[in-house]
């Protein structure tokens, strides 16, 4: 049986666990109490944690992440102002992560969806669609297969450079949600 490792037991981590389970994957779920001695079991590792937590996790587990697919789902928003993203304007959280994990295949995915849409597999009347950016076609394809098997749609959004646009989109959606312009079971749907 194939195994995924998910860091984070919040709304997003729980929803993504459901997707992997629906695709018949086993899930190792880790929380903030995880110690450096923990053995990472998953061929796909999902970092379903807030952006500031990425530094500590990569510091501890970069060796174990080698050769694995590492999925960044963060929306690295300045939550004090809700008015900007934290990474450099010409970069992204995912690009920063790839720099820290040169021997892993970093993907950006799930960040343009609210947790509720991942669970219901719908955005309004539309099938929920996960956009995936990354430089490894094989890694994107492996993650897309899991998502599609679970009953959602998945689209290759391009190279890891496109993580910048995915993070802009996730930020915009979140800011509009917080401002009451979107409901958290609505949001951005993608029609092919």
Q: Which residues contact 152 (CB under 8 A, 6 or more apart)?
A: 19, 118, 121, 127, 128, 129, 130
90 half-sphere exposure, CB direction, 13 A CA radius? 0
- Among 24, 26, 33, smallest CA distance to 7 is for 33
Q: Toward a second copy, which CB reaches closer, 53 or 182?
A: 182
Q: Which residues contact 116 (CB under 8 A, 6 or more apart)?
A: 11, 15, 184, 185
Binders of a second copy among residues 89 to 118 (CB under 8 A) are 89-90
Site for a second copy contains 162 (CB under 8 A): yes
Site for a second copy contains 123 (CB under 8 A): yes
Q: How far is the CB of 169 from a second copy (least distance, A)?
A: 5
In the list 15, 152, 157, 160, the residue contacting a second copy (rule: CB under 8 A) is 157
Q: Which residues bind a second copy (CB under 8 A)?
A: 83-84, 88-90, 123-126, 131, 155-159, 161-162, 164-166, 168-169, 171-172, 175-176, 179, 181-183, 186-192
């Amino acid at each position: 049986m194939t195994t995924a490792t998910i860091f984070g037991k919040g709304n997003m981590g729980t929803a993504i666990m459901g997707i992997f389970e629906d695709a018949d994957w086993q899930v190792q779920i880790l929380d903030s109490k995880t110690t450096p001695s923990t053995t990472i079991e998953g061929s796909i590792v999902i970092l379903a944690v807030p952006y500031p937590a990425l530094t500590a996790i990569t510091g501890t587990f970069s060796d174990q992440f080698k050769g694995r697919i590492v999925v960044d789902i963060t929306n690295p928003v300045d939550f004090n102002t809700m008015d900007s993203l934290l990474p450099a304007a010409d970069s992204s959280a995912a690009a920063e992560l790839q720099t820290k994990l040169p021997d892993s295949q970093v993907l950006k995915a799930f960040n343009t969806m609210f947790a509720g849409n991942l669970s219901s597999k719908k955005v309004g009347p539309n099938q929920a669609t996960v956009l995936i950016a990354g430089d490894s076609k094989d890694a994107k394809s492996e993650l897309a297969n899991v998502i599609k098997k679970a009953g959602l749609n998945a689209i290759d959004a391009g190279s890891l450079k496109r993580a910048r646009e995915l993070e802009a989109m996730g930020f915009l959606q979140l800011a509009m949600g917080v401002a009451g312009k979107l409901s958290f079971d609505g949001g951005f749907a993608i029609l092919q």
